[in-house]
Chains A and B, each alone.
Chain A
Amino acid sequence: MTAQPAIELEALSKRYGPTVGIEDLDLEVRQGEVFGFLGPNGSGKTTTIRCLVGLLTPTAGRVRVLGLDPLADHRDLAPRIGYLPGELRLYGELTGAQHLRLLGDLQGAPTPRRDELCRRLDLSARDLDRPVAGWSRGMKQKLGLVQALQHDPEVAILDEPTEGLDPLVQETFFALLDEAKDAGRTVFLSSHVLAEVQRTCGRVAIVRSGRLATVQAVEELRDARARRVRLTFAHGVDRDRVPVAAHWSPAWSERTLRLLVEGAEVVPALRRLLELPVTDLAVEEAGLDEAFLAFYRQAEAEAGTVGGRSA
């Protein structure tokens, strides 16, 4: 018997008049999975998340979280999820402690992790007793994480969770994600910071212009990703005779050429390039950032919207 998915989206569409928020999105997130939801700003991530938590009514399609409809079954589902909005807004005149009590009261469930999370995220009692109007963005984001996780939800839906966090607190946050995964909790995490997804997520969905571009395991995405190639040519090599494709993003610096070559093209490309007098060569795996950009570039080329990039 297959376990029920934590999150199911079937042909989800949300439009705001003529504007498309998200279009025909199919997605399934397994229970106990840390799932990354990637895309640039304005790609539809927040719209999708707001449909997941029942803030928006889908124009078409079906949404299920833990088998429940976020709108029709809101009162049954809401106690089981934790949510961090992408643009966290707080009541300036309330203190941090008042926020946590208020939101805990509204949650209507015990908050067993509140003190632990405040301690680990470095929110002191003194900080919590100050009105949040005087807090920094990072402090507010930490409070947002505490309110989302303090009741130990089965599914945590976090929209851009590391925004404004300093590197040390980000480390703590990544540790919290690892613990959540070990405890069988599901985390749905949206981001445009690819490194954090690479580090924390098992699978990744990439959305672009309101449409799902791909769903892949981070490892698969890594295998398919591009390579950074750096070649230094001997004196006297004519740049115009170097066989490079425009979509490799060639960039010259004196005699050194930098390229971003997609996985399958690396070996044939090097064979041709090494026919010229090369004095130095370095090939590195591109990060997920480049893989992501390469993916977009490919999609754009297929759509015929843009040509190859120039150096």
Chain B
Amino acid sequence: MRTRLPLAWLALYRRRRMLAVLAVGLFAFELLIVVVATTVPTESIFGPRQDLPVPDAFQAFSGSSGEVTLASYAGLLGAGLVHPFWIAMHLTAVGSLAAAAVAADVEQGTIELIVVRPVSRLRLLAERAGALVAACVLLHLAATLAVFLGVLAVPRLHQAVRLTGVVAAGVLGIGFSLCVAGPVLAVSAAGRRRGQVIGAGIAIGAVGFAVNFLALAWSAVDFLRFLSPFHYYVPADALVRGTVPWASLAVLLAVGAAGTVAAGRLLVHRDLAP
């Protein structure tokens, strides 16, 4: 164990079992979604009148901005990528790794051993943020690989969904995780308890989903959807288009970057004692 990035290594090493379980879980879950989708015959996918509009609120469950209906293969696969189970697993990883950035070490008292070394606080944050990005990429790779293999293996799905779209959805998923991770990192940089950080991650995910659903269901608060990461994380659209919606990805990454910058500012100016 001699590494150039000891702080990133430490964060990942200590959570290696959790990450392995989450990666396997996500792979299995997405594979299950693929299997379930293939059980729906093409001719009967939610009945003969597919031209009838599905209520807007259901877009929240299909991961689309409106161009993909839940009553389609892309919609079903997209639903697997915004499913509460998928969200919970990603938020678990983001919350845990973000907490590991600063707050967990402050809570445990191990921060004293680290920051008295010639390690700048920004390096601490950068390495821990790097570990968080690596964990997010790993989990999205697992989920994307399951969908990719399913689409590749089942002709009906392949006709409805592009393989490049699967990759694009995975890239957008990474953007979603980083969007949540940035503000949660800021909470970690200012906080003293792991629970605060994990709670912040869950709150952002849950409130974001609820706000998007509410905005789609109730036109009077339609404008609120722009505040939710789920408005920009539209995997079903990416599956159909075959390309990354760059503008949405840019918004997600910008929020993540802003949160990370805020985390740096907070960390530099705070007391770091248990």
Q: Which residues of A contact B (CB under 8 A)?
A: 50, 53-57, 74-75, 78-79, 81, 83, 85, 87-91, 93, 98, 101-103, 105-108, 147
Are B14 and A54 in contact, CB atoms less than 8 angstroms apart? no
10 contacting pairs across A/B (C-beta < 8 A): A55-B111, A55-B116, A56-B273, A57-B271, A74-B118, A78-B116, A83-B112, A87-B109, A91-B10, A93-B14
**Looking across the interface, which residue of chain A has its beta carbon closest to that of B271?**
A56
Residues of B within 8 A of A50 (CB): 112, 273
Q: Looking at B7, B113, B115, which has the most chain A CB atoms within 10 Å of its CB?
A: B113
Chain B residues whose CB sits within 8 angstroms of the CB of A81 once the complex forms = 116
Q: Is the CB of B3 within 8 A of A105?
A: yes
B84 located at the interface, meaning its Cβ lies under 8 Å from any Cβ of chain A in the complex: no
- Interfacial chain A residues near B55, Cβ < 8 Å: none
A76 to chain B, nearest CB (A): 8
Question: Complex formed: what's the CA distance from A159 to B222 in Å?
Answer: 58
The answer to whether B115 touches A55 (Cβ under 8 A) is yes
Given A55-B271, A105-B3, A106-B6, CB of A91 within 8 Å of CB of B116:
no
Measured between beta carbons, the chain A residues less than 8 angstroms from B113 are: 85, 89-90, 103, 147
Measured CB to CB, the nearest residue on chain A to B124 is A106
14 further A-B pairs in the complex, CB-CB below 8 A; given A55-B111, A101-B2, A105-B3 = A54-B115, A55-B115, A56-B273, A57-B269, A85-B109, A87-B274, A88-B109, A89-B112, A106-B6, A106-B7, A106-B118, A107-B117, A107-B118, A108-B117
A161 to B110 alpha-carbon distance, docked (Å):
17
* B114 within 8 A of partner (CB): yes
Nearest B residue (CB) for A106: B117
User: A90, B110: Cβ atoms under 8 Å?
Assistant: yes
In whole angstroms, what is the CA distance A134 to B209 when docked? 43
Contact A75 B271, CB 8 Å, known A89-B109, A90-B110, A105-B3: no
> Which of B2, B118, B272, B274 is within 8 Å of A89, CB to CB?
B274
Pairs of residues from A and B, 5 with the lowest C-beta to C-beta distance, nearest first: A89-B109, A78-B118, A106-B117, A85-B112, A83-B116
Task: Provide the residues of chain B in CB contact with A147, threshold 8 Å.
Answer: 113
B247 at the interface (CB under 8 A from A): no
CA distance A74 to B115 in the complex (A): 9
Residues of B within 8 A of A57 (CB): 269, 271
Please tell me if the beta carbons of A79 and B6 are within 8 angstroms of each other in the complex. no
Smallest Cβ distance from A56 to chain B, in angstroms?
A: 5
A108 CB contacts on chain B under 8 angstroms: 117-118
Which residue of chain B lies nearest to A151 when distances are taken between CB atoms in the complex?
B117
In the assembly, what is the distance between CA of A292 and CA of B21, in Å?
Answer: 57
Cβ-defined contact, B115 with A89, below 8 A: no
Kindly provide the distance from the CB of B146 to the nearest chain A CB, expressed in whole angstroms: 30
Q: Chain B contacts of A74 at CB under 8 A?
A: 118, 120
Cβ contacts under 8 Å, A87 to chain B: 109, 274
- Name the residue in A87, A88, A102 with the highest tally of chain B Cβ atoms < 10 Å from its Cβ: A102
- Assuming the contacts A87-B109, A91-B14, asked whether A106 and B273 have C-beta atoms less than 8 A apart, the reply is no
B153 adjacent to chain A (CB < 8 Å): no
How many whole Å from B110's CB to the nearest CB in chain A? 5
Task: Tell me the smallest distance from the CB of A160 to a CB of chain B, in Å.
Answer: 13
Distance of A120 Cα from B253 Cα, bound (Å) = 53
Question: Which residues of B are found within 8 Å of A78, using beta-carbon distances?
Answer: 116-119
Contact flags (1/0) for B240-274 with A, using CB distance below 8 Å?
Answer: 00000000000000000000000000000101111
Question: In the complex, how many angstroms separate the beta carbon of A48 from the nearest chain B beta carbon?
Answer: 12
Residues of A within 8 A of B108 (CB): 89, 91
A54: chain B residues at CB < 8 Å are 115-116
A101 touches which one: B1, B120, B273 (CB < 8 A)?
B1
User: Which residues of B have CB within 8 Å of A93?
Assistant: 14
Q: What residues of chain B lie closer than 8 Å to A90, measured between beta carbons?
A: 110, 113
Chain B window 90-115, contacts with chain A (Cβ cutoff 8 Å), 1 for yes, 0 for no: 00000000000000000011111111
Q: How far is the CA of A102 from the CA of B9 in the complex (A)?
A: 10
Is B10 within 8 A of A102, CB to CB?
yes
User: Shortest distance in angstroms between A112's beta carbon and chain B's nearest beta carbon?
Assistant: 17
Q: Check A102 against B110 for contact (C-beta < 8 Å).
A: no
Q: Which residues of A contact B115 (CB under 8 A)?
A: 54-55
State which residues 101-153 of B face A: CB under 8 Å.
108-120
Q: Which residues of the other chain, B, contact A56 by a CB distance below 8 angstroms?
A: 271-273
Complexed CA–CA distance, A55 and B267 (Å): 11
Nearest A-chain residue to B121, judged by Cβ? A74
Tell me if B120 and A98 are in contact (CB < 8 A). no
**Docked complex: B3-44 residues within 8 A CB-CB of A:** 3, 6-7, 10, 14
